[in-house]
A and B are shown apart, each in its own frame.
Chain A
Amino acid sequence: MSERTERSEGRAGMPSRHGMSGDRLDGLSVRDVRVSFDGFTAVDGVSLEVPAGDIRFLIGPNGAGKTTLVDAITGLVRATGSVCFGDQELLGRPVHRISRLGIGRTFQTSTIFEELSVVQNLDIAAGARRSWATLVRRRRGIPDEVAAALETIGLTGRADQLAGTLAHGQKQWLEIGMLLVQDARLLLLDEPVAGMSHEERDATGALLETVSRDRTVVVIEHDMDFLRRFARSVTVLHAGKVLSEGTVAQVQADPRVQEVYLGHPVDAGSVPSGLEA
């Protein structure tokens, strides 16, 4: 077991040709970020620090600004303030440049290329730095980083299957695999386990722990059971602001969080089920 773990660790964190992942672990620093749409402020001065290698869960009621915050970090919406990954400022750069700095994200709905095979999906994700000379040639075999990612996400046996024919959970893993080969060092996952079975959730959680060894992971999630098992730290957003932050236990014990989720403060003793609402 230990040997297997070690081997797969080496693969999951396989330093790519570019030597970008594996050897540098960066944290995410969000300072006073604001996003407004036509006068409506969706994200209202959010600041948070995600240390390198963390698995941070972002939770909050609908409309709290979780996805909008991720949109701002990845350049999809305009924002003011500052977002730094490592020592790189992200705000103000176009989406594909931010992505090349090692920021990868998934969406609430699966956005894999359904008309392409699993390998083709991963190969495309691995190739953003390829030269045109490489691009106009045919792919020969499976690149090492793609093979490693296939192994990590458990889809080696389905490499040539059309991505659109995968099961729901497998599609989500393929999305995560695409972030791995993309060399993302910060993974922003928007509801990765929504609609998954129990086994699939467990597998996804294990996958997150594997990849977080040399990457920083931020997860938006509503599934509180999943959160309790896999979150290392939690940030609660409410109405565009940070309401609470800390470990799972600290956040669960925070009366303000209970008020937001239940509509009234609850006695600290009866908390554990409080977040399940």
Chain B
Amino acid sequence: MTAVTPAPPSTATPAAPADAPPPRRPGGRSRLRAAAGFAFGAALLFAVAPLALSDFRLALLAKYLCVAMVAVGIGIAWGRGGMLTLGQGVFFGLGGYAMAMHLKLADAGPGGMPDFMQLYGQLDELPVWWRPFASPWFALPATVLLPMAVAFGLGSLVFRRRVRGAYFAILSQALAAAMVILLIGQQGTTGGTNGLTDIQGFFGYDLDDPVNQRMVYFIIAGVLLALLALARQLIHSRYGELLVAVRDSEERVRFLGYDPASVKLVAYVVAAGMAGLAGALFVPAVGIISPALIGIVPSIEFVIGVAVGGRATLLGPVLGAVAVAWARTALSERFPGTWTYLQGLLFVVVVAFLPGGLASLWALARRRDADSASRRRGWFPTARRRAERAEVPTA
């Protein structure tokens, strides 16, 4: 007890502190690379795409980019937080309907009512819960805050009760089903199966005008880049590290004095906010929001894009979402009817053979000849790269 060794002797720890390299951190170089990546992405979205694509294709791209925004959120909640959310359509829909309600009211003019209400609902006046959406000051924040509030309510109930894994996935999917049933059932005030269609204007701009469509595209591209920057900050923050820790070992995190429920809740709420924003921008880009766009099937399609691209990476979900959406359009144009089968096949192949998504292919190629010790799993390229950098000097 008197002659105490201050630390486990260095015989047992080969890397003696004296000749160890100074601790390195994700610093300058990765930041520079990220800035270059963002500049490249911005150039692609703002210069190359508008010049290379026809108005029709550019409008399609705008739609894909909305799906990509949902994917960024799923990447955080599922890829980083381990919450397989099969109900992002709900939040996408809440954002979309909030925006569409405002635009419909704006189209109808002051004191007017959306056309479908007289048609199906035989209503004499606007339902109470529609009224606040006449004001852009209410409707615009609501597109994001409403989904976040719903996610907060659901998440608080579910995560504290330690519902996770498949149970959470099924529950979130049931929510999507419930939302669709509710919308269809209330046809007089929600437009039912048709949804809210035929949206003409966007804050005073005529959406039929190609110039304005282009403007909507630019807004969407800008918002997507902003969301990516936000996601990157979140992933590299202490919270991002904690979220991965919760994903990998929730129990252990609890024993460190954290409440994993609130850690997961934040990721879930952020993902819901992103989906809501995506839904809100989808409406002016496409001109419609309907139950068919937010139900179970679209919710699963959001997830497929993320899985194909690589859920745990920053760009994987975005690229995967755009690629799958693009493939869907391209293939349905040529071989109508086969897309559903191809999509299912794609999902099965990725889940079975490439759980890390396409992003892991790139990572695998990078480290083919490196040691096999850390190759056990293919879906965490950033941490592995960091480990590689750290290993070189000590070896």
Contact = CB atoms under 8 A, between A and B. Distances in A.
Interface stretch (A37-45, A161-169, A216-224, A249-257): A161-169
Given A128-B257, A135-B242, A207 B7 contact: yes
Interface stretch (B63-71, B128-136, B300-308, B379-387): B379-387
A52 to B, nearest CB: 16
B252 A111 contact: yes
A162 B259 contact: no
Contact of A117 (B11, B17, B19, B390): B390
B252 A134 contact: no
A199 B241 contact: no
Contacts of A158: 13, 15, 20, 394
A127 B242 contact: yes
B253 A124 contact: yes
B241 A116 contact: yes
Given A116-B383, A136-B233, A157-B16, A111 B249 contact: yes
A24 interface: no
B380 A96 contact: no
Contact of B252 (A9, A113, A127, A173): A113
B365 interface: no
A95 B252 CA distance: 10
Given A115-B380, A157-B394, A123 B238 contact: yes
B6 A210 contact: yes
A241 B144 CA distance: 57
A162 B256 contact: no
A199 B12 contact: yes
A74 interface: yes
A208 to B, nearest CB: 10
A112 B253 CA distance: 10
B337 interface: no
Interface string B236-255: 11110110110011011111
A152 B7 contact: yes
B188 to A, nearest CB: 43
Contacts of A137: 237-238
A139 interface: yes
Nearest to A113: B245
A99 B383 contact: no
Contacts of B8: 153-154, 173, 200, 203-204, 206-207
A155 B256 contact: no
A178 B256 contact: yes
B238 A203 contact: no
Contacts of A206: 4-5, 7-9
A199 B14 CA distance: 12
Nearest to B379: A115
B1 interface: yes
A47 interface: no
B249 A113 contact: yes
A199 B9 contact: yes
A165 B374 contact: yes
B15 A116 contact: no
A130 interface: yes
Which residue among B12, B17, B257, B391 has the maximum number of chain A CB atoms within 10 Å of its CB?
A: B257
Nearest to B8: A203
B52 interface: no
Interface string B32-67: 000000000000000000000000000000000000
B29 interface: no
B255 A161 contact: no
A156 interface: yes
Interface string A98-128: 0110001101000111111101110111011
Contacts of A197: 12
A16 interface: no
A151 interface: yes
B25 interface: yes
A160 B386 CA distance: 8
B387 A96 contact: no
A82 interface: no
Nearest to B388: A162
A134 B242 CA distance: 12
Contact of A210 (B4, B236, B374): B4
Nearest to B16: A157
Given A124-B245, A154-B13, A156-B17, A162 B4 contact: no
B12 A169 contact: yes
A140 B254 contact: no
A173 B3 CA distance: 20
A159 B245 CA distance: 17
Contact of B23 (A125, A129, A160): A160
Interface string A147-189: 0000111111111111011000110010000100010000000
A80 interface: no
A233 B102 CA distance: 73
A209 B241 contact: no
B360 to A, nearest CB: 14
Interface of B: 1, 3-17, 19-20, 23-26, 233-234, 236-239, 241-242, 244-245, 248-249, 251-259, 373-374, 376-377, 380, 383-384, 386-387, 389-391, 394
Given A113-B249, A138-B233, A154-B8, 13 more contacts: A99-B255, A115-B377, A115-B380, A117-B386, A124-B238, A138-B236, A157-B17, A158-B13, A159-B23, A161-B394, A165-B374, A202-B9, A206-B9
22 contacts: A9-B6, A96-B258, A99-B254, A99-B256, A100-B257, A116-B248, A123-B241, A127-B242, A135-B237, A135-B242, A136-B238, A137-B237, A138-B26, A141-B25, A151-B17, A152-B7, A157-B14, A158-B15, A160-B24, A200-B8, A203-B8, A209-B4
Interface of A: 1, 4-5, 7-9, 12, 74, 94-96, 99-100, 104-105, 107, 111-117, 119-121, 123-125, 127-130, 132, 134-142, 151-162, 164-165, 169-170, 173, 178, 182, 197, 199-200, 202-204, 206-207, 209-210
